[in-house]
């Protein structure tokens, strides 16, 4: 019997009737074959030819647009309509006029997305810091190339880079632009491909040139001392974090923090925000502030409005009387996009392959590529000079007998024989003979020919110098260094994004701003939390709970205290009691799963007031193990609200106790055994997810059921149940040591 063919073994013909009653032939194809033959070419095209920038700092769409403008003479000529540029670019980029114009907008000076725009624009090109400020149509705006584009095209006509056919093979376009500076680090760029993305932040041109020069002189130089951090056209402040910055410089991945700039106008009691992070917009900031005001989390503001005009960005905030502007801005930085993070993912195409590289690797690749560009340019000049020298050698032969040359030309009967006769008469080749034959009659004199021949010595010296340059790596580096220094001198600008170090950042503790007064807190078994003042508590007879709910824990503390809620998903939520509103005993309180944004099926199992984070937490699990974890392991320097991995997930949690000093505990198992031991026998651990040590040995079908402080147990015969070393099995619980209390989780 023949083996049945699976769909993945190749296409299979199937006859299906179509709507006309005829039979159509359909090819069945396996899903893996479909992905390989149809999807993979598309994915590779997006990665290699669309979304990821190359070592010159440009995506193909950028390169096609700029090259078209260069060929249109817009580097030195007057501006032309953007619609004209878009139409011409479609000869290289067939993706539609809207996509081409969007690319031009991003590269323009008016939009302001780049530190050094490549398109000198006129008209409304929108703004990078505004979500709603749309740019005008291409028929209304004009553009030309910015002066810095001279550094992109300087070597283009000297064979510095390869040229390739456009999409319909009707013209040539450069595969890369021979930039004389590391544009890959200067121009911010981002792209989303298939299965990968790229996010490059821009750096100051002067710093990049200095860093590249230092790298060429010493590849092991300290880049972070020269390249202070990213620089963005929207300004703002870069919060310097040396560890994060060095991580980005080393790996090409990481996150850096930015925040806006503001000034306080005392006469009008308002704050003006005039620079914002590159990653956000004015509308996003306004929306977030409005939301905070609406929810009552921002009570210091009377009004906020957008006063952006032709002079630049400005968000005005009217303050209430007595509000400290610096404290308010610290709060806004913490709660709104006025302080944001910029992600770095330096994914660049090198020789057609995507690679994530750090700054040092990028400089290494760029220097290697630029060295090759300079060598190709020198080879091109060398070839031209060698050709000229070859022609001068032929001309020198003519100098020996000009009359003979004239006689040969005059006595030759056919025009086609002139070149061969000159070659025979003077012993020169065809190229030299062509050059001699094309000399004008007025130039057939000794003076002209002697001047041309005198150039020969200077030409030989130039050729010798170029030959030495090609083979001398140190000299090539010197040429690149000279070009970088010239670019810095001509185009470098001061940093727009200020660098703010840790000691310069003012921090305000929000808890210190909240009023401090005594409160009582209550947690129910159903996850409801209440914060009640002593006055309200004295006026209430009983606490209100939902049906089938009841009290779990309660503490007396102050309104500034910190509280931790441990859940059954091994997570802990950390908040200030000032985050909760005061309530009454007659109210249900805040439902914590909703208040804290917990995961589905996540519930609170215990509440802890850490105080100064002294003492330890004891975790008891059903398998009889216990873990003693120092409370300091849950202290965080940042205002993190949620910590994962709060305790071990290897066995269900039975009890969680906050241990301030060693004491004795009573453990009960489902075998009706009891064990009394001192917590001093448990060694503290530093890892939150530790499984701990075995405290109570259990038979396979039994588990640990309850843990109580010894003073809350009914055990009278302590000697029967107390152990001096761990683990221990405990003893069968006698009737006189038992009680009728229901098993409960403390």
User: What mean pLDDT is predicted for residues 536-551?
Assistant: 84
User: What mean pLDDT is predicted for residues 395-408?
Assistant: 82
* pLDDT the model gives residue 744: 38
Whether the per-residue pLDDT at 695 is higher than 60: the answer is: yes
Residues above pLDDT 90, as percent of the chain: 57
Q: CATH code for 261-337?
A: 3.30.1360.40
User: What mean pLDDT is predicted for residues 439-446?
Assistant: 76
Q: Which of 504, 386, 403, 388 is nearest to 446 (CA)?
A: 403
Whether the per-residue pLDDT at 163 is higher than 60: the answer is: yes
User: What mean pLDDT is predicted for residues 618-629?
Assistant: 94
The answer to whether 140 is a known catalytic residue is yes
* pLDDT the model gives residue 31: 83
**Is the omega angle on the peptide bond into residue 727 within 30 degrees of 0, that is, cis?**
yes
* pLDDT the model gives residue 508: 59
**More confidently predicted of 477 and 4:** 477
- With cut-offs at 50, 70 and 90, classify the pLDDT of residue 596: confident
Distances (CA, A) of 11 to 1, 30, 38, 653, 655: 21, 7, 14, 56, 62
**Annotated domain spans of the chain:** 7-43, 52-179, 261-337, 364-491
Whether the per-residue pLDDT at 528 is higher than 60: the answer is: yes
Q: Which of 105, 124, 102, 121 is nearest to 113 (CA)?
A: 105
CA distance 688 to 570: 10
CA distance 247 to 250: 5
Q: Give the pTM.
A: 0.70
- With cut-offs at 50, 70 and 90, classify the pLDDT of residue 4: very low
- With cut-offs at 50, 70 and 90, classify the pLDDT of residue 147: very high
- CB of 636 closer than 8 Å to CB of 575: no
* pLDDT the model gives residue 26: 64
- CB of 184 closer than 8 Å to CB of 53: yes
- Please write the tens of the pLDDT for every residue from 484-497: 999 999 999 999 99
Whether the per-residue pLDDT at 113 is higher than 50: the answer is: yes
- CB of 183 closer than 8 Å to CB of 193: no
- With cut-offs at 50, 70 and 90, classify the pLDDT of residue 415: confident
261-337 and 364-491 have identical folds: no
Whether the per-residue pLDDT at 100 is higher than 70: the answer is: yes
- With cut-offs at 50, 70 and 90, classify the pLDDT of residue 512: low
> CATH for 364-491, among 1.10.10.10, 1.10.268.10, 3.40.190.10, 1.10.10.60?
1.10.268.10
Taking all residues of the chain, what is their mean pLDDT, rounded to a whole number? 88
User: Of 54-68, 128-142, 541-555, 654-668, which gets the smallest average pLDDT?
Assistant: 541-555
- With cut-offs at 50, 70 and 90, classify the pLDDT of residue 15: low
User: Of 55-69, 448-462, 722-736, which gets the smallest average pLDDT?
Assistant: 448-462
* pLDDT the model gives residue 11: 52
* pLDDT the model gives residue 25: 62
Burial of 422 (0-12, 13-18, 19+ CB in 10 A): buried
- With cut-offs at 50, 70 and 90, classify the pLDDT of residue 299: confident
From the candidates 70, 101, 129, 140, give the one annotated as an active-site residue: 140
Q: CATH code for 52-179?
A: 3.90.199.10
CA distance 378 to 374: 6
Residues above pLDDT 70, as percent of the chain: 93
What six digits make up the tokens of 296?
């009552």
User: Of 28-32, 286-290, 349-353, which gets the smallest average pLDDT?
Assistant: 28-32
Q: Which of 514, 562, 524, 559 is nearest to 545 (CA)?
A: 524
Whether the per-residue pLDDT at 5 is higher than 60: the answer is: no
């Amino acid at each position: 019997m023949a083996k049945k063919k699976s769909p993945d073994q190749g296409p299979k013909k199937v006859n299906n009737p179509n709507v006309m009653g005829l039979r159509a032939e359909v090819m069945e194809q396996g899903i893996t074959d479909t992905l390989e033959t149809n999807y993979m070419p598309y994915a590779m095209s997006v990665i290699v030819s669309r979304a990821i920038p190359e070592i010159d700092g440009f995506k193909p769409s950028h390169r096609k647009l700029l090259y078209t403008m260069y060929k249109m003479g817009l580097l030195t000529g007057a501006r032309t309509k953007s619609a004209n540029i878009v139409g011409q670019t479609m000869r290289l980029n067939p993706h539609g006029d809207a996509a081409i114009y969007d690319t031009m907008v991003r590269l323009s000076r008016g939009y302001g997305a780049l530190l050094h725009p490549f398109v000198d624009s006129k008209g409304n090109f929108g703004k990078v810091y505004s979500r709603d400020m749309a740019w005008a149509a291409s028929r209304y705006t004009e553009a030309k190339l910015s002066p810095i584009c001279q550094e992109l095209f300087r070597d283009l006509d000297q064979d510095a880079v390869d040229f390739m056919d456009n999409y319909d093979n009707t013209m040539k376009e450069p595969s890369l632009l021979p930039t004389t500076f590391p544009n890959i680090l200067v121009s911010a760029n981002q792209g989303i491909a298939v299965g990968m993305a790229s996010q490059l932040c821009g750096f100051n041109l002067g710093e990049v040139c200095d860093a590249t020069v230092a790298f060429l002189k010493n590849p092991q130089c300290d880049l972070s001392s020269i390249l202070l951090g990213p620089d963005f056209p929207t300004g703002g402040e870069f919060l310097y974090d040396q560890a994060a910055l060095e991580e980005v410089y080393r790996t090409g991945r990481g996150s850096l923090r930015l925040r806006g700039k503001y000034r306080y106008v005392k006469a009008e009691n308002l704050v003006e925000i005039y620079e914002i992070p590159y990653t956000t917009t004015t509308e996003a900031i306004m929306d977030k502030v409005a939301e905070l005001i609406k929810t009552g989390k921002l009570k210091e503001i009377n009004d906020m409005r957008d006063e952006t005009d032709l002079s630049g960005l400005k968000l005005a905030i009217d303050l209430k009387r007595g509000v400290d502007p610096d404290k308010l801005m610290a709060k806004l930085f913490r709660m709104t996009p006025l302080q944001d993070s910029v992600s770095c993912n330096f994914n660049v195409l090198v020789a057609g392959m995507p690679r994530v590289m750090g700054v040092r690797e990028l400089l290494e690749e760029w220097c290697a590529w630029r060295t090759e560009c300079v060598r190709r340019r020198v080879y091109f000049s060398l070839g031209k000079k060698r050709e000229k020298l070859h022609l001068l050698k032929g001309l020198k032969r003519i100098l020996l007998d000009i009359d003979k040359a004239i006689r040969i030309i005059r006595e030759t009967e056919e025009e086609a024989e002139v070149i061969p006769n000159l070659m025979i008469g003077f012993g020169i080749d065809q190229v030299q003979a062509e050059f001699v034959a094309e000399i004008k009659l007025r130039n057939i004199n000794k003076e002209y020919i002697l001047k041309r021949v005198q150039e020969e010595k200077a030409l030989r010296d130039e050729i010798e110098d170029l030959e030495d340059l090609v083979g001398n790596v140190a000299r090539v580096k010197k040429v690149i260094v000279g070009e970088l220094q010239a670019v810095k001198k001509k185009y470098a600008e001061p940093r727009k994004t200020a660098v703010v170090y840790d000691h310069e950042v003012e921090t305000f503790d929000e808890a210190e701003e909240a009023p401090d007064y005594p409160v009582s807190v209550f947690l129910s078994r159903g996850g409801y939390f209440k914060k009640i003042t002593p006055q309200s508590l004295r006026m209430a007879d009983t606490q209100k709970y939902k049906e089938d709910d009841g009290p779990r824990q309660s503490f007396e503390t102050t309104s500034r205290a910190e509280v931790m809620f441990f859940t059954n998903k091994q997570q802990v939520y950390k908040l200030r009691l000032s985050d909760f509103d005061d309530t009454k005993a007659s109210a249900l309180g805040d439902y914590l799963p909703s208040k804290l944004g917990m995961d589905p099926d996540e519930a609170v199992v215990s509440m802890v007031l850490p105080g100064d984070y002294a003492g330890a937490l004891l975790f008891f699990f059903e398998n009889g193990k216990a873990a003693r974890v120092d409370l300091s392991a849950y202290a965080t320097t940042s205002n993190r609200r949620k910590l994962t991995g709060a305790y071990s997930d290897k066995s269900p949690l039975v009890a969680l106790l906050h241990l301030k000093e060693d004491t004795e505990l009573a453990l009960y198992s489902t075998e009706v055994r009891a064990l009394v031991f001192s917590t001093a026998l448990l060694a503290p651990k530093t890892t939150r997810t530790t499984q701990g040590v075995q405290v109570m040995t259990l038979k396979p079908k039994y588990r640990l059921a309850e843990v109580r402080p010894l003073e809350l147990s009914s055990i009278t015969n302590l000697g029967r149940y107390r152990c001096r070393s761990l683990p221990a099995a405990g003893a069968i619980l006698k009737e006189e040591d038992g009680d009728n209390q229901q098993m409960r989780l403390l």
